[in-house]
Amino acid sequence: MALRRPMVAGNWKMNGSAQLAQELFTKFATKLQDDSAEVVLCPPSIYLESVRQQLDMNKEALNGCLVRMGAQNLSQHDFGAYTGEVSGQMLKDSGCRYVIIGHSERRRMYGETSDIVAEKFAAAQKHGLTPILCVGESGPAREARRTFEVIAEELDIVIEKNGTMAFDNAIIAYEPLWAVGTGKSATPEQAQEVHAFIRKRLSEVSPFIGENIRILYGGSVTPSNAADLFAQPDVDGGLIGGVSLNSTEFLSLCSIAMSA
Ligand SMILES: O=C(CO)COP(=O)(O)O
């Protein structure tokens, strides 16, 4: 087993259904072999219960495999008059282990600033959830050679507010905005370069965390590019959007991660 167990996390975004959960678990139950990779499903919160039921129903068949559940977002607040929001405690009660924080779609479309992202990171950990923190540069930022600067900024705000040790229980997802949902993945070399940068930055404060933190790549991952991406030394799996809605292709990503 590699030092860092590979992870494949499916971010359904605002897609999917209870039926998709069922379809995925039918395949997991027969095709997942062992615990050499961790598989995480992040459905819309309304379907967390469906996924949890599937987890319970397939417990025996999944014996020895690591299939877990995550949410796509949480409120930075614990409770109160925040219509439409879901708290960390509620997600924990629903059986979530993980929560995606700071996805570019939330930063871009819902006004989530890096400060809010840092608060959500803290809220997740306070309620016993492991944050999957998304960072990534836009196309213009990459063209202007500002990739490292943007990533460092996004990381540093979370580090400043939460301390480096908070990354002892966190996952990072590098999702370049130009690759998300575009069909144009980063090359394995581009992904590796940024992942190595992130790892080094965390290592400077804590070599232990730098060595142990899992860094996922996200952005147009498919069964045809996953093997090369996951084979990079600092790429510990993927955060998958579109392909996570296709049970056959998602399973094939899981198999690739298991043999990475
Ligand atoms: O945003 C993503 C996962 O969070 C990636 O989406 P795609 O895999 O559809 O590009």
What stretch of H or E contains 173? strand 171-174
CATH fold of 9-258, please?
A: TIM Barrel (3.20.20)
12 in a known ligand binding site = yes
Domain boundaries, the chain: 9-258
Question: Which residues face 80 on adjacent strands?
Answer: none
Dist CA 235 CA 58 (whole Å)? 29
Rounded to the nearest 10 degrees, what angle do helices 18-31 and 48-57 cross at? 30
Q: Is 103 considered catalytic here?
A: yes
- If pLDDT is split at 50, 70 and 90, which confidence band does 3 have? confident
Query: C-alpha distances in angstroms, 168 versus 91, 164, 201, 209?
Result: 21, 8, 14, 6
Average pLDDT for the chain: 96
pLDDT at 240: 98
Dist CA 148 CA 26 (whole Å)? 41
CB neighbours of residue 30 within 10 Å: 10
Judged against a pLDDT cut of 80, whether residue 1 lies above it is answered with no
Q: How far is the CA of 130 from the centre of ligand 1 (A)?
A: 19
Q: pLDDT tens digits for 225-254?
A: 999 999 999 999 999 999 999 999 999 999
Mutate to test the pocket of ligand 1, among 132, 180, 222, 229 (most ligand atoms within 8 A of CB): 180
Q: Using a 6 Å CB cutoff, which residues line ligand 1?
A: 11, 103, 175, 180-181, 218-221, 239-243
pLDDT at 2: 54
Q: pLDDT tens digits for 188-212?
A: 999 999 999 999 999 998 999 999 9
Judged against a pLDDT cut of 60, whether residue 34 lies above it is answered with yes
What pTM does this model have? 0.97
Mutate to test the pocket of ligand 1, among 7, 8, 13 (most ligand atoms within 8 A of CB): 13
pLDDT at 260: 85
Question: Are residues 9 and 240 in contact, defined by beta-carbon separation less than 8 angstroms?
Answer: yes
pLDDT at 64: 87
Q: pLDDT tens digits for 80-136?
A: 999 999 999 999 999 999 999 999 999 999 999 999 999 999 999 999 999 999 999
ipTM: 0.99
Query: C-alpha distances in angstroms, 211 versus 97, 201, 215, 237?
Result: 22, 11, 10, 15
Helix/strand/coil for 259? coil
